[in-house]
Chain A
Amino acid sequence: MTEPAVVADASRCASCGEALIPGDQFCEACGAITSDGAAAGMPMEGIAQQAPTSGAGRQLPPNGGASGGVGGVCASCGAGVVDGYCVSCGVKARTARDHWSELPAAWLGGVCDRGLVHARNEDAMALAATADETLGVLVVCDGVTSAPESDRASLAAARAACQSLLSAGLTVPSGTSAAAIAGWAAELTAAAAAGNAEAVGVARILGNPPEPPSCTFVAAVVARPDGQHDDQALISVGWCGDSRAYWVPDDGEPIQLGRDHSLGTEMIDAGVAVAKAEADPTSHTITRWLGADSVNATPDLVSLQVATSGWLAVVSDGMWNYASSPAEFAAVVRDSIAGDDPVAIAQAMVAVANGHGGHDNITVALARLDFPTPTN
């Protein structure tokens, strides 16, 4: 009688007492990490480990991912936080799942943010660099809002895809780029398959609901210029759905790498004006995705060799909705540059999207490609 029942019961969140679905890695109600989440290596410490450098504590969200659900400060009124909510005004504290940043290398980082309107952050990202920092991997997945628990599918898929690429033994192209591109194509396809398997696995844990959780997929592999080859950098992108990659050179024409799998793109292909197609309510309906009900989870692929310095951006539609064309997008990137910290720039871009209303979740992942300034 003296032991709180909420603590004794493993089927409930230790922090707030909300019922948990077996396999839940964080509490839906308060965002606290569950024992399953800790066991699966999903705790927010995991995110912090992926971002080992610089900016003490910056990667941890305001409530520190406190698994006790107690601690932190309310972003709205400054009072304390219990059960994931402010003890005074009751406003929900931002959880580690709502907003986080990753900075696996000084030239590679990103921000994933709930935005202002959606109750959950169904976007996810996973970023990594090889130990020698010659290669970077950027994965963004955007959970499908109409399918419950897509926030879980997107995070699991993004992390699995990133891990798949890291463990594939990616090599920097030597000799012809064509050989590297061919190799990476297979690895990007395998990464999408790994992400798809995770999304399907989440559906299975949930008992295969009629609307299984699902998400978009975009992964980029980038080889940095190292000055030893022919002074070219290589970017390879694979995607399913409408999360995008853009190349924004410091000088020159920005481009979008790939085309959305969406009804909007199909409308444009059928001759509808871009502005009209993008304004159509169905334009965001995607035609390719990862998940148990996916009919085609094979990514389309595109590669690009670049010879000038610039930024590779991998983003969800919560970002590009406010700057769709490569020129508009590049303008947002360039306006957001202050210093060379990719997380700071990504955060500034997220702020732009939130400034426009933050109607969707927002993810911005950036990789900086720098060519040595010519010596003469």
Chain B
Amino acid sequence: MANFSAQVFQNEYLAEGSTDANAVVSVTCTDAGMAGAGATGEAAEVIIVDTSGSMEMPVAKINAARRAAKVAISEIVDGTWFAVVSGHSVAQMVYPTQPGLAQMNDERRAAAIEAVGRLSSGGATAIGAWINAATELFSFRPHAQAHAILLTDGRIEGEPEGTLEAALRRAEGKFQCDCRGIGADWEVAELRGIADALLGSVDIVADPDDLADDFGEMMRRSMGRGVSDVRLRVWAPQGSEVLFVRQVAPTVEDLSAKALQEGPLIRSYPTGAWGDESRDYHISVRVPPAPVGQERLAARVELVVDGNVVAKGLIRALWSTDVQRTTRIDPAVAHYTGQTDLADRIQRGLAAKAAGDTDAATVLLGEAAKLAHQSGNENTTRLLAKVVDVVDADAGTVRLKKNIDKADEMALDTRSTKTTRIRREPQP
């Protein structure tokens, strides 16, 4: 049986008249079990493989897609409902052949792998249509824990503007979707938009040879999410304003816009399915100030599964005249504020660069280099070093590189949201 725990990191002391309570709530799930093994008892997977004409250029891409889809299929556990879809100008069933979901067993696994081997390419990239197809397929098992993998190598061409947005509105809350871009001709913002809306990840697979491992890993992780549909519920007092609710580890995802008003003082936010993992949330609440010495609950944060509270954390506000107490910033809050700023500077810096504003790009990416260096985010530091020459990391002085590999820039962009965890105990 899954076990959730929540731990709150904050400095509860506020100076007289101050209003903003900030806390990091660290949630850990253990003994999650396997997808489809929970109370609802069903899991569903849809694999969407881009088979547009560009997948043949080079042919390594479609070959890699075939191999990756096979690996993913082989990771789907027996009893899971599944389908494989080929995406080009329309979405086309690969397995099963008629629109619907098949229940996994040895025979169907072999048949699906065989069908994937026959995938051929041609046509345009109509991702909105592919998402719509997945939504329809999952509607065959409406109570299943639903997850899709979407692979593309290009940006949307060949469907009317607004099709994807409409598709996402229909799909939201019905399934989660991990997105992968192969090569360097796809649009980071497009896939990020899909992943954000559908509570999934986004990443670049620059080398087609890496795709199969990545697909296998994604499918294993999905199969290991034994708790479906976990909601983060936040109570905040009368007269308060929830400034933001943001996942900050393992990646930065702002959940604020996903709030569902459950009552006058209660909002809830979808967090999707959980496996054995930890996620950290930065929550900021503006509360009416109380007199010195008084304490107010700034927020009650609950993890809710099937209507049951499985973990709870309290964010407190305590007004004090003790300057030593009120001026301290909690290390977790400080760390994740920095990591959020880091992602922001990278994304804005790359956008400025794309718009031809070299000065702004240099300043923003310089700030990013400084933040990455200070927080010990080595992955991001390494990715940044492929886009800028770091002159002085402490000062945040950088120069844009002359010849940047497009894929390196896209990797920096997609992975900008990956955060490092704060080290809570000194390492021995």
Residues of A within 8 A of B (CB): 1-6, 9, 16-19, 29-30, 77, 83, 85-86, 88-92, 115-119, 358
Contact = CB atoms under 8 A, between A and B. Distances in A.
Given A17-B314, A83-B314, A119-B320, A2 B306 contact: yes
Nearest to A7: B309
A2 B207 CA distance: 44
B418 to A, nearest CB: 28
A30 B240 CA distance: 21
B312 A89 contact: no
B227 interface: yes
A358 B294 CA distance: 12
A90 B3 contact: no
B287 interface: yes
Interface string B292-331: 1111111010000110111111101010110000000000
Interface of A is mostly: loop
Contact of A1 (B6, B39, B287, B292): B39
Report, nearest first, the 7 A-B pairs whose CB atoms are least far apart.
A90-B237, A85-B297, A117-B293, A92-B295, A90-B297, A90-B296, A17-B312
B162 to A, nearest CB: 40
Given A2-B306, A4-B309, A88 B265 contact: yes
25 contacts: A1-B306, A1-B308, A4-B310, A4-B311, A5-B5, A9-B5, A17-B314, A83-B314, A85-B300, A86-B237, A86-B297, A88-B237, A88-B238, A89-B288, A89-B296, A90-B237, A90-B297, A91-B290, A92-B294, A115-B293, A116-B291, A116-B293, A119-B293, A119-B295, A119-B318
Given A17-B314, A115-B293, A89 B305 contact: no
> Which of A4, A29, A118, A119 has most chain B Cβ within 10 Å?
A119
Given A1-B305, A118-B293, A89 B237 contact: yes
A279 B321 CA distance: 19
B1 A1 contact: yes
A16 B296 contact: no
B4 interface: yes
B38 interface: yes
Contacts of A115: 293
B356 interface: no
Contacts of A92: 294-297
B313 A17 contact: yes
B395 interface: no
A6 B311 contact: yes
Nearest to B5: A5
B215 to A, nearest CB: 29
B239 interface: yes
Contacts of B265: 88
Contacts, number: 88
Interface in B314-367: 314, 316, 318, 320-321
A2 B293 CA distance: 38
Interface residues of B, number: 41
A1 B293 contact: no
B293 A85 contact: no
Contacts of B309: 4, 6
Given A1-B2, A4-B312, 18 more contacts: A1-B1, A5-B310, A6-B309, A9-B5, A16-B312, A17-B311, A19-B7, A85-B297, A89-B288, A90-B240, A90-B297, A90-B298, A91-B290, A91-B296, A91-B297, A92-B296, A116-B293, A117-B292
Contacts of B236: 90
Nearest to A30: B314
Contacts of A117: 292-293, 321
A126 to B, nearest CB: 25
A130 B160 CA distance: 91
Highest count of chain B CB atoms <10 Å: which of A2, A86, A118 = A2
Contacts of B316: 29
A182 B292 CA distance: 47
A31 to B, nearest CB: 11
A1 B38 contact: yes
A3 B316 CA distance: 25
A340 B292 CA distance: 34
B4 A85 contact: no
B308 A4 contact: yes
B165 to A, nearest CB: 35
A87 to B, nearest CB: 8
A138 B5 CA distance: 44
A9 B7 CA distance: 13
A148 to B, nearest CB: 13
Contacts of B300: 83, 85
Interface string B30-58: 00000000110000000000000000000
Nearest to B299: A90
A89 B239 contact: yes
A30 B314 CA distance: 10
A61 B287 CA distance: 27
A230 to B, nearest CB: 49
A5 B4 contact: yes
